[in-house]
Amino acid sequence: MLEKNLESKYRIGERQYAGRSWRKSLWLVMSSVTFVALFPFGLWAQAGSSPAQAGGFGTGAQTPLRFGGESAPNNQVSLSMGASTLYDDNVFSIGSQRVSDEAVSLSSQLNMMRQTEHVTINFGYTPFFMLYRQNSQFDRLNHAASLSMNFQLTPRFSLGLQDTFSYLDGIYPTLTGQEILSGSASPTALNQAIVPPTARTLSNTGGMNLTFTKTRRTSLTLSGGYTQQKFGSQAIAGQQLYSSRGFSGGLQYQYRVTEHTNFGLLLLHQDSTYTGGEVFGNRLRSQSESAFLSIGSHLSNSVSVTIFGGPQYVRTIGATVPGAGIAGKFLGAGGGSITKEVHKTALNLSVQRTVSSGGGLYAEVVQTSADFGVRRRLVGQWEAGVHGMGARVDTSLFQGTPGNTESLTGGIDFSRPLRGGSALRISYENMHQLSGGTLPISADFLRNEVTISFDFRLKAIPLGQ
């Protein structure tokens, strides 16, 4: 009886909503799709002139790790300026004859957060300019941006759009104010564990998902995604890096078993093309089919767990080096995460094994990784954050081309809010990478960065309710 009443309410709500808001929703969707399509390419052109719910695994971006009760500010536009000083003991990310340098970064940050009954928009854009004391070839404008939107089209249908974009010289994890994320990374995400030798790098990941909520217990999500990673044309120690371009499509079914537990099934197709490298030839195309079962549960108000796993079928097409491709191979993939968010401490631990892009050093790899992140409120208004990741990738997908890379990254930062929404931040980052097999010694390095930064909020404009 309860289920029938709920179904009746859904139908009535659908008819009322459609007559009241369809034109407005359609206009918002069309405008936003156009913006998502133009957003990364607009930044590319500018730079080139100078370039979860529990059980919701696989269909969206990770969410920031929050303290219990903490939420991001909504319905406002804010503009901040920042100044940082940096010491880097290995600016070229090489294993021998390391070169250290100091740098100053000048940055700005534009954020917009808008939430209404039917629309949620989060947008952030951070351009920053690096000025090195000795290595002026790295004195360039860099970009990092993200966009996430959700539209409740009708009581049954919702549309989500996401895009992240960066155009950087080298790796600057301590300068862009990266948040610690919770949950497991999407299987369609770009490889974050492998750090390629310093080069101008463009990365873009976009996605769209349409969710149909059949009942309060069941839903279907149709998703599509796009990834791109492009490196500068210069060779590193005689070796070109692999640029990549990929497309994905998926269908996910979710069923709410209990009030706190979800069951999910994700069917995923991925098609990726790698160009420019040498180890596996200058062009290789890979296709994979995945079927992941996932279970997510809120064990308490502060603890959530997600576990996923299933087979992946991988094949390569058009390898330009004989023996570098495979006709087809089954692999086991899986992982999980646990997140705890209380008033003074928030932590996340994730493990994962999936087929992934090779981060520029390789074409496609099997990646096994474990990462953690912890936030902790200290005395006064100080806050500490600690994060780390250990990963191993290998080329067992490809015959006759043995190679592997092990990486260990981690860092700690201390931050304190100042007057008027400003903040002081002190950070340390360590990156260590070792490779074996067919790669040159340039892939091995140890790198340390220390950063002191001040962020000054210039303006916050409320957008209303």
User: What is the pLDDT confidence band of residue 288, given thresholds at 50, 70 and 90?
Assistant: very high
Torsion on CA atoms 23, 29, 30, 31, rounded to nearest 10 = 110
Res 175 pLDDT > 60: no
Res 76 pLDDT > 70: yes
- What are the pLDDT digits (tens) for 239-283? 678 899 999 999 999 999 999 999 999 999 999 999 887 766 778
Return the pLDDT at 17.
43
Q: What is the average per-residue pLDDT within 21-39?
A: 40
Return the pLDDT at 92.
83
Res 32 pLDDT > 60: no
The token pair at 390 is 């250990």
- What are the pLDDT digits (tens) for 310-356? 999 998 887 656 656 667 889 999 999 999 999 999 999 999 999 99
Res 296 pLDDT > 80: yes
- Residues paired with 111 in a beta bridge: 78, 124
Q: What is the average per-residue pLDDT within 126-133?
A: 91
User: What is the pLDDT confidence band of residue 237, given thresholds at 50, 70 and 90?
Assistant: low
Return the pLDDT at 25.
41
Q: What average pLDDT does the chain have? A: 82
What one-character-per-residue DSSP string does 225-281 give?
A: EEEEEEE-SS-BTTB---EEEEEEEEEEEEEE-SSSEEEEEEEEEEEEEEES-SBTB
Name the residue with higher pLDDT: 137 or 119: 119
C-beta pairs of 298-302 under 8 Å, 24+ apart in sequence: 298/54, 298/260, 298/261, 299/260, 301/68, 302/68, 302/340, 302/341, 302/342
Q: Residue 371 in contact with residue 388, Cβ under 8 Å?
A: yes
Q: What is the average per-residue pLDDT within 284-303?
A: 92
Q: What is the average per-residue pLDDT within 57-79?
A: 81
Q: What is the pTM of this model?
A: 0.82
The count of structural domains within the chain is: 1
Res 142 pLDDT > 50: yes
| Torsion angles phi and psi, residue 129, rounded to 5 | -110, 130
The residues, ordered by sequence, that sit 6+ positions from 57 with a Cβ below 8 Å of its Cβ are: 183, 184, 186, 264, 266, 292, 294, 296, 306, 308
Q: Which domain holds residue 35?
A: 2-462
Residue 178 sits in a domain whose CATH number is 2.40.160
User: What is the pLDDT confidence band of residue 157, given thresholds at 50, 70 and 90?
Assistant: very high
Q: What is the average per-residue pLDDT within 201-215?
A: 93
